Each structure stands twice: as C-alpha cells, then as structure tokens.
C-alpha cells in the first residue's frame, strides 16, 4: 500500500504528580494510505485526541512525545523536524478540523478573512488572489453563495456553516492528510450527515487520507475503510470496517456494539460495561480492560496481552484472540 | 381509558429579540401550537434538531419559562393558572433532568446535599430521617454511599447524571422532563443511564417526556414519539410506526441521518440540502418545504401550512402523507 502516514510506538509522556511519567498515549501504531479513511474510535480519555495533536506536533505542555516514537509522513520522520519544519507540515501537509468551530474561529474576523489568512500563510499571493482563492475554498466546502458569505462573522453562521469554514481553512494548504477530530459531534444529525458527505467527497476528489476521530461507531461504520478501536492509550483492535462489524474480536469492541441503541431489531436492554474508563495514572496491570471485561481469564490480570492476528488485516490486543498452538 | 396525567394544548412560545444596539426588534416563534397527552407510566419521545423548540416545550410545561398561549393540565390542575402554593405542590410532582449535570449542580454543594435539598425545601421528612432517604436514593440510582460526600468535580459525567436523577427523584415526582439526558455521555455510560431510566420508570411508574435528537436513543425508552420541526409537531405516533413507517419526509430524513453501527445498512441515505427558515420569519406554507425532497412537493406546500391530522393511527402534518410510508429502506 502507498503509505501516507505511519505511526509506530507513539507514546506521550506527562509528568506524574509524584515524580516519573504517565503515558495517556502508550504505544500507538497507525497506518493510513492516500485516498483512505481510517476511523480512530474510543471513549473520552482513551487518548485519541492527544494522538491527533501529536501528529501535528501540538502536544500540550508539559506533555511530550517519548523517545522511540515514530511519526512518518511520506518518508519524513516528523520527530526529526524542528519547530519551523513542523510549522510547515501543519496546514500544508496535515489539516485538522476540531469539534467546536465556535471556539476555533476568531469571533472578530470575518469567515472569509480567516480563510484568506490561511491561504496567505501557505502561498505567496497578492491580496486579490488570496481572496479569490478563499472564496473558491468556501465554495469547495459547499458553502452556498460563498462570495456573499465571505464577509459573514462566525456568530452569523449556523453550526454547520461554521464547520464548513473550518474545513475551508484546513484545505487552504492543500493537505495530504485531513484529521477530523470529533468534527461533527456538536452538530445536529442531518447537518452531521452533510458534513460527513462533504469530507468523503473531498477525500475522493483530492486523494487525501482522512483520519476520522470519533466516539461514535456508527460514524465509523458509514464512512471508514478501516477502524482502529482505542482503549486506555492503546489500539486494542484494528480491522477493515466490514470485518470489524461482522466479527469483532476484542471484548471491549463487542461490548461497545451491544451498548449502542439501534433503529432495527427488538428493543433490548443495552450492555452495561461495568465501571468507568481508568485514568492514565492508573492503567490496570495485565490487560488494561480486564477489570471491566466479562470474558476475562485468570491470566488477563497478570500478563500483558500481545497484539494477535485474528485474520489477515485484523488484529486484537487480547489473550482470547491468541491462537492456541 | 383513564384521563391522561398530562394534557398539553396549543402551546405557543414567542420571544422578543433585538432592540437597542442589537438590530431591529423581531419575534422568535419558538413553539407554534403544540398539543399532546401523556399517561402515567408512559414515555413520549420528543425529537427534533436544535432550534426545533423541543426543550422550550419541556421548560414551558414546567413553568420554568412563561408560555405565550395555550394550556397545560397536570393531574387535573391547570398549571398556568396555579398560584404560588399550588405551584409548589406541582413542582414536587414534575421534575427536570438536565443534559449537563455539571452546569446544573452547585459546585460547592456535595452530591448528598444536592439530593437532600428538595426534601428540605418541601419539608417532606423530619430532618433526622433525611440522610437515610438520601442513602436509599443513591443506592436506587447505582451510586455508592461514599459518593454523598463528593463534590460535582470529583465525580465522572455518568455519576453526575445519576446525582441529577436522584435529585429529581428525591421529592417523589410522577412526571420527569428528561432534556437530552444522555447526549453528553460516552456510549458505555449512555447505555448505563438509559438502562437506569428504564428501570426507574417501571419501578416507580413514572411518566417521561424524553427530549432528544437521536431517534435510536429515543426508541430505547419511548412508547410514542413526537417529531418537532420549526416549533410544531410534524408527526406523532407509536415508536414502532414512527421509526419503521415514517409518514413525514422530515422524519424519514432524521432516521436516515442516524449513524448506524452497521456498514451493510441498507437504509437509504437522505442528505438534506438547504437551510431551515429563520424563526423570526416563518414562511406561509410548510416550514419544511425549503429542504423537502418529497416527490410530490408542489405549490401548495409553499403557500398553505399543513395541519397536523390523523392518518391511520398516526398524526402527521404533510399535504402528501397519503403517498404512504416514506420508508428509509430502499
């Protein structure tokens, strides 16, 4: 596969209150090709957003990417770039759209001016050219009547239109990789469907890789080629989308499926995953999911499970998935 | 059939906006004539997108915000005409569970004190019996006794929502307005809270007005579903009918937009285009016409407001509902 992004053994360290370090992201491997959508799915506190920030070199202080982590974008190891090199990568090679456009946009600048600013940051253009390009980008983000909307301020736009402005800004540097970090979570379902449709269209027409970060397995099901499920700082299962939904191998993935309300079938009691997501300061020993796992074996509490191949292209970090010799 | 516990008739809520520096004055039509009944022990799901008026309906019924017009009867009592003493009695029987317990709980009050507060205000128990009742409520909503001494910031989102539910239950209500009670929670926590609400309803025979934007979540608890658009109910029927045989095109679009955890889902994907009308300028015709994809959409849709009318055992506000169910399946 023509790999666009390769992440190997990504660990993010934060100083622990009593000395030493905690690792909210603890050994993440990811691969993403051009024109491909990878969904990174997990609940709050699993480390998925921090993983996205690491790709952009934006891990908030005092956190840092630990030694031995590798983030390779088309042959370039981002860890070897200085701040200036990273700044060039951000926006030009990797664009990001966050959940909350209202807090990401500048409230006292017009939407168009913010897109123009992003255009000018990446290319040397005259003011008129930059404005024309910004209007083009607003159009590509499918904002109706982009020339008229150019002068609108963020508070004058609906949540869906604000998110489209964010997408236009992310596209300004013609990125190869677009990260959507819960980009549709705050939106109404019909607007969410429109934005997901737009992202998919942009992926197909521009050949971008899309990293779709979401807590919603439903979003992953509809839009991703592959899904990686994250729990307690690690990827616990990864598979092509259809395969993951047909035959989930990790008990956490299975429990998540049974916890989701459905539109079809009989209405049943939803699965209770007992307890809550542990904090990075107290990842359980052995398998990190074992205290909440209904299928745990004795060894799950004692031994760290390996990443086991369940099938071609399908892996799970679980003792139950390890084939007996 | 016995009289309903709650009767809502032609509820209207308008707000004035603007004036002074904020541009010309305008009137926001938030709720435009909403009527429904709710029986004891029943859940009515109230579904719609932001700005549809669904939360305003809940708050107006509880008299947390005054209605512009219409009537609400709760257990035979005219809610809008109730005097101060009568209203205090009503407030004990009608409670609200908020979306975000973090902003609805007092950060300086322990969880136990928050739950005890209603018992104290309504003088429902001798002071010395309150701690035991609070402990019982904590157990009922699945919290540990030790949680009574915690402050909101020391609790997880799911635990805070359980405190919010215990606080609402403390005064012994018959009716809860649940306003998006799980939409801020993670999937696994959402499942826990939905299961809890279902158990509480069966055990205490509570009536719920369950306000949400996600039809799959609503289906988990609701016996009937009302779909709101632009301040009006556009469809009302049994959960089974609304989810599997929607009659209004907006309901069909909402259903198709629910992200289903099934890549092989054969639901037709309806992606709406266009924007809803501005709430300060309601159109003369059907408010959904600007986004409607119905094959029979015509001039009448743009000029004549469709009334909510009976069709089979459902109510629907669409001129072309006779076309039959707009099934989201292909």
- What pLDDT score does B278 carry? 82
B39 CB burial (10 A radius; 0-12, 13-18, 19+):
middle
Q: Does B87 lie in the same domain as B28?
A: yes
pLDDT more than 90, % of chain A: 69
Give B-chain residues touching A201 at CB under 8 angstroms. none
Name the nearest CA neighbour of B115 among B125, B130, B126.
Answer: B130
The whole-number average pLDDT for the span A311-323 is: 93
Q: In terms of CATH, what superfamily is A3-93+175-311?
A: P-loop containing nucleotide triphosphate hydrolases (3.40.50.300)
- B83 assigned to some structural domain: yes
Q: How far apart are CA A95 and CA A76, in angstroms?
A: 17
- B283 assigned to some structural domain: yes
Q: How far apart are CA B113 and CA B163, in angstroms?
A: 10
> Which run of H or of E encompasses A309?
strand A307-311
Give B-chain residues touching A43 at CB under 8 angstroms. 186-189
- B176 assigned to some structural domain: yes
Q: State which residue of chain A sits closest to B156, comparing Cα positions.
A: A276
Interface touch B220/A270, C-beta < 8 Å: yes
Q: Could you write out the three-class secondary structure of chain B?
A: CCCCCEEEEEEEEEEEECCHHHCCCEEEEEEEEEEEEECCCCEEEEECCCCCCHHHHHHHHCCCCCCCEEEEEECCEEHHHCCHHHHHHHHHHEEEECCCHHHHCCCCCCHHHHHHHHHHHCCCCCHHHHHHHHHHHHHHCCCCHHHHHCCHHHCCHHHHHHHHHHHHHCCCCCEEEEECCCCCCCHHHHHHHHHHHHHHHHHHCCEEEEEECCHHHHHHHCCEEEEEECCEEEEEEEHHHHHHCCCCHHHHHHHHHCCCCCCCCCCCCCCCCCCCCCCCCCCCCCCCCCCCCCCCCCHHHHHCCCCCEEECCEEECCCCHHHCCCCCCC
Q: How far apart are CA A205 and CA B148, in angstroms?
A: 56
pLDDT along chain B (330 residues), means of 10: 87 82 75 96 94 93 95 96 93 91 86 94 91 95 94 90 95 96 88 94 96 94 97 97 94 89 73 79 92 92 95 94 66
The whole-number average pLDDT for the span A33-53 is: 94
Q: Does B280 lie in the same domain as B147?
A: no
A56: tokens are: 């952009």
Q: Does B106 lie in the same domain as B21?
A: yes
Q: Does B216 lie in the same domain as B263?
A: no
On whether any CB of chain A is under 8 Å from the CB of B29, the answer is: no
pLDDT more than 70, % of chain A: 99
Interface touch B271/A271, C-beta < 8 Å: no
> Dihedral, CA atoms, B205, B207, B210, B215, nearest 10 degrees?
70
Q: Does B189 lie in the same domain as B85?
A: yes
Out of A191, A216, A273, the one facing B259 most closely (by C-beta) is A216
Give the 3-state secondary structure of residue A89: helix
Contact residues for B113 (Cβ-Cβ < 8 A; gap 6+): none
Q: Does B327 lie in the same domain as B272?
A: yes
In Å, how far are A9, A242, B26, B31, B66 from B15, measured between CA atoms?
55, 48, 8, 10, 10
Q: End-to-end alpha-carbon separation of chain A, Å?
A: 30
- What pLDDT score does B186 carry? 86
On whether any CB of chain A is under 8 Å from the CB of B262, the answer is: yes
Distance to chain A for B265, nearest Cα, Å: 8
On whether any CB of chain A is under 8 Å from the CB of B191, the answer is: yes
Q: State which residue of chain A sits closest to B258, comparing Cα positions.
A: A189
Confidence of residue A323 (pLDDT cuts 50, 70, 90): confident
Give A-chain residues touching B256 at CB under 8 angstroms. 193
Q: What is the tally of structural domains in chain B?
A: 2
Q: Best residue in A102, A152, A190, A254 to probe B by mutation, most B CBs within 10 Å?
A: A190
Q: State which residue of chain B sits closest to A246, comparing Cα positions.
A: B262
Each residue of A102-145: pLDDT tens digit?
788 999 999 999 999 999 988 888 999 999 999 999 999 999 89
Interface touch A276/B158, C-beta < 8 Å: yes
Q: Does B266 lie in the same domain as B187?
A: no
Residue B168 contacts residue B201 (beta carbons within 8 Å): no
Q: Which domain holds residue B35?
A: 6-222
CATH number for the domain harbouring residue B58: 3.40.50.300
pLDDT at A170 over 90: yes
Taking the model in full, what pTM does it have?
A: 0.89
- B330 assigned to some structural domain: yes
Distance to chain A for B167, nearest Cα, Å: 22
The whole-number average pLDDT for the span A212-235 is: 94
Q: Does B313 lie in the same domain as B182?
A: no
Q: In chain A, what are the domain boundaries?
A: 3-93+175-311
- What pLDDT score does B330 carry? 41
Interface touch A276/B259, C-beta < 8 Å: no
Q: Does B134 lie in the same domain as B75?
A: yes
Q: State which residue of chain B sits closest to A255, comparing Cα positions.
A: B188
φ, ψ (nearest 5 deg) of residue B248: -95, 135
Name the nearest CA neighbour of B4 among B35, B34, B40.
Answer: B40
φ, ψ (nearest 5 deg) of residue B212: -160, 165
Q: Best residue in B49, B53, B187, B212 to probe A by mutation, most A CBs within 10 Å?
A: B187
- What pLDDT score does B7 carry? 97
Each residue of A10-23: pLDDT tens digit?
999 999 988 889 99
- B236 assigned to some structural domain: no
Out of A43, A256, A263, the one facing B215 most closely (by C-beta) is A263
């Amino acid at each position: 596969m023509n790999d666009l992004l390769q992440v190997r053994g990504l660990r993010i360290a934060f100083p622990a209150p009593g000395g030493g370090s905690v690792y909210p992201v603890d050994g993440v491997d990811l691969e993403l090709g051009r024109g491909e959508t990878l969904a990174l799915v997990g609940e709050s506190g699993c480390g998925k957003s921090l993983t996205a920030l690491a790709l952009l070199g934006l891990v908030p202080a005092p956190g840092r990417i630990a030694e031995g982590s590798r983030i390779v974008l088309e042959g370039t190891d981002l860890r070897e770039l200085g701040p200036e090199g990273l700044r060039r990568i951000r926006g030009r090679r990797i664009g990001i759209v966050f959940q909350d456009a209202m807090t990401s946009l500048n409230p006292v600048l017009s939407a168009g001016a913010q897109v123009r600013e992003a255009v000018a940051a990446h290319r040397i253009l005259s003011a008129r050219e930059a404005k024309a390009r910004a209007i083009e980008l607003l159009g590509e983000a499918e904002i109706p009547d982009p020339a008229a909307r150019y002068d609108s301020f963020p508070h004058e736009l609906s949540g869906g239109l604000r998110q489209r402005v964010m997408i236009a800004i992310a596209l300004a540097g013609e990125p190869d990789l677009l990260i959507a970090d819960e980009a549709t979570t705050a939106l109404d379902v019909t607007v969410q469907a429109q934005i997901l449709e737009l992202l998919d269209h942009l992926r197909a027409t521009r050949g971008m890789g899309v990293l779709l970060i979401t807590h919603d397995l439903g979003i992953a099901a509809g839009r991703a080629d592959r899904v990686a499920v994250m729990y307690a700082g690690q990827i616990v299962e990864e598979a092509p989308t259809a395969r993951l939904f047909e035959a989930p191998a990790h008990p956490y993935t299975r429990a998540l499926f049974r916890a989701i309300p459905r539109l079809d079938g009989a209405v049943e009691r939803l699965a209770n995953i007992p307890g809550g997501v542990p904090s990075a300061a107290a990842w359980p020993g052995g398998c990190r999911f074992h205290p909440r796992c209904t299928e745990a074996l004795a060894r799950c509490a004692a031994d760290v499970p390996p990443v086991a191949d369940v099938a071609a292209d399908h892996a799970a970090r679980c003792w139950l998935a390890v084939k007996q010799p | 059939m016995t009289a309903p516990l709650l009767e809502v008739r032609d509820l209207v809520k308008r707000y004035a906006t603007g004036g002074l520096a904020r541009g010309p004055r305008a009137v926001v039509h938030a709720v435009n004539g909403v009527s429904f009944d709710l029986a004891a022990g029943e859940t009515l799901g109230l579904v719609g997108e932001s700005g549809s008026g669904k939360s305003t309906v809940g708050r107006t019924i509880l008299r947390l915000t005054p209605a512009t017009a219409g009537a609400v009867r709760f257990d035979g009592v005219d809610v809008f005409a109730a005097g101060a003493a009568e209203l205090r009695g009503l407030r004990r029987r009608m409670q609200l569970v908020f979306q975000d317990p973090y902003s609805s709980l007092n950060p300086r009050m322990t969880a136990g004190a928050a739950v005890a507060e209603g018992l104290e205000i309504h003088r429902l128990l001798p002071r010395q019996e309150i701690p035991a009742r609070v402990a019982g409520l904590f157990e009922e909503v699945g919290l540990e006794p030790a949680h009574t001494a915690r402050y909101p910031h020391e609790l997880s989102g799911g635990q805070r929502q359980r405190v919010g539910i215990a606080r609402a239950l403390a005064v012994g209500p018959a009716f809860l307005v649940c306003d998006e009670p799980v939409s801020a929670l993670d999937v696994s926590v959402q499942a826990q809270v939905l299961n809890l609400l279902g158990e509480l309803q069966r055990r205490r025979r509570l009536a719920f007005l369950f306000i949400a934007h996600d039809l799959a979540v609503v289906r988990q608890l609701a016996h009937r579903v009302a779909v709101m658009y632009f301040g009006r109910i556009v469809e009302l029927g049994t959960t089974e009918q609304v989810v599997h045989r929607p009659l209004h095109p907006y309901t069909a679009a909402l259903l198709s937009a629910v992200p289903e955890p099934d890549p092989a889902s054969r639901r037709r994907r309806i992606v709406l285009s266009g924007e809803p009308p501005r709430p300060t300028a309601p159109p003369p015709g059907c408010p959904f016409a600007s986004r409607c994809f119905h094959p029979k959409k015509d001039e009448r849709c743009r000029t004549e407001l469709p009334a909510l009318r009976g069709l089979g055992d459902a109510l629907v506000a669409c001129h072309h509902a006779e076309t039959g169910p707009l099934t989201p399946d292909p």
